[in-house]
Amino acid sequence: MKYLKVALFTFNLLIWLAGCTVLVTGICLLLEPTKGDLLNLYVPISTPHETIHLVAYSLLGLGCTVLTVGFFGCRAALHGSQCILATYMSMLLALITMELISSAVGGFMTYRILSGLEGRLRDRLAEHYGHDPTSDIPFSHSLDFAQYKFNCCGIHGDGDYNETAWWRDSQISGTRRQVPLTCCVLRNSEDKNTGSPMSVVARVFHKHYEKPWLHPQPKDEAACQVEELDGHEGYRHKTGCLEKVSNWLQYESFTFVFLGMFMAGLQTFGIITSAFLCRTIRDMQID
């Protein structure tokens, strides 16, 4: 029975670590606003950051629940009471069910979003990108951020802006730009470690919320806007953003689904160990 108690206690320490991981993920989502800048590419709403906050608070709630269950499991391992163990197994079963359902819903929603993403992005780019103050401004900012972050241009390539509402406005206004400035090779490009936890914390404490994709600084704007390939080669990004934003969403979704499945598997071992410990205690009481 001693070894079963040690095993159960060890499992709960691992559950604690998993709960802490979920908490840290939720905190990073709250402190790092750039994920909300990408969200409007997938969900056509005017306040994408509200969805990010909803996900973040859900993760915080799940993390606190996992920590509570882990604490209860440690008490069950130390006291070895059948009543406490039965309650602990019920809590684990409910938590596993919630995690598996969340993982399944997350995977299904990702599939639904990606299935029609190309058409939605193409239509929104043609009609709403940078057209006028009454158009989909969050989408314009989101696409600018994607072009800035992934060093891409348009949906399939830099030619996507030809004949769009933005392109026509540019011709009428006299600027005659071929692509937005975020399609150009920039001087203020994104650092590689801007998404790291230390970078996020540093920006929060230093109140640094600069959004350089809203004020892009091309290395050579005139060269970037040249129509001929030889003229803008090396000054304009050519590849489209569709594959990169799709891969980003798939990676984020896979991370959450894998975390949910991992935690559910870990907690299943906790249930099995608790059942063996409960049976051992019962057998000892009968003897």
Residue 201 has pLDDT above 60, yes or no: no
Contact partners, residue 51, CB within 8 Å, separation at least 6: 36, 39, 43, 45
What integer is the mean pLDDT of 113-139? 80
Judgement on whether residues 199 and 220 belong to the same structural domain of the protein: yes
Nearest alpha carbon to residue 76 among 283, 281, 285, 239:
281
Judgement on whether residues 98 and 197 belong to the same structural domain of the protein: no
pLDDT (0 to 100) of residue 206: 46
Q: Are 164 and 158 in contact (CB under 8 A)?
A: no
Q: Are 160 and 122 in contact (CB under 8 A)?
A: yes
Of 211 and 24, the structure prediction assigns the larger pLDDT to 24
pLDDT (0 to 100) of residue 70: 78
- Distance in angstroms (rounded) separating the CA atoms of residues 77 and 113: 44
pLDDT (0 to 100) of residue 175: 78
Nearest alpha carbon to residue 95 among 117, 123, 66, 122:
66
Judgement on whether residues 202 and 149 belong to the same structural domain of the protein: yes
Judgement on whether residues 14 and 106 belong to the same structural domain of the protein: yes
pLDDT (0 to 100) of residue 161: 92
pLDDT digits (tens, 9 = 90+) for 243-261: 999 999 999 888 888 888 8
Q: Cα angle vertex 212, ends 206, 218, to 5°? A: 140
Tally of domains in the chain = 2
Judgement on whether residues 205 and 66 belong to the same structural domain of the protein: no
pLDDT (0 to 100) of residue 284: 66
Judgement on whether residues 71 and 17 belong to the same structural domain of the protein: yes
Print the domain residue range for 132.
119-241
What integer is the mean pLDDT of 228-236? 85
pLDDT digits (tens, 9 = 90+) for 48-62: 566 677 778 888 888
What's the pTM? 0.77
Residue 190 has pLDDT above 70, yes or no: no
Residue 68 has pLDDT above 90, yes or no: no
Judgement on whether residues 41 and 74 belong to the same structural domain of the protein: yes
pLDDT (0 to 100) of residue 209: 52
Judgement on whether residues 47 and 108 belong to the same structural domain of the protein: yes
- Distance in angstroms (rounded) separating the CA atoms of residues 1 and 243: 54
Judgement on whether residues 161 and 235 belong to the same structural domain of the protein: yes
Q: Are 126 and 140 in contact (CB under 8 A)?
A: no
Judgement on whether residues 103 and 12 belong to the same structural domain of the protein: yes
pLDDT digits (tens, 9 = 90+) for 144-157: 999 999 999 999 99
Judgement on whether residues 94 and 233 belong to the same structural domain of the protein: no
Q: Highest mean pLDDT range out of 67-81, 168-182, 205-219?
A: 168-182
pLDDT (0 to 100) of residue 19: 82
Output the six-digit token pair for 281: 């205690």
pLDDT (0 to 100) of residue 154: 93
Q: What is the mean pLDDT of the chain?
A: 79
pLDDT (0 to 100) of residue 242: 94
pLDDT (0 to 100) of residue 192: 46
Confidence of residue 45 (pLDDT cuts 50, 70, 90): low
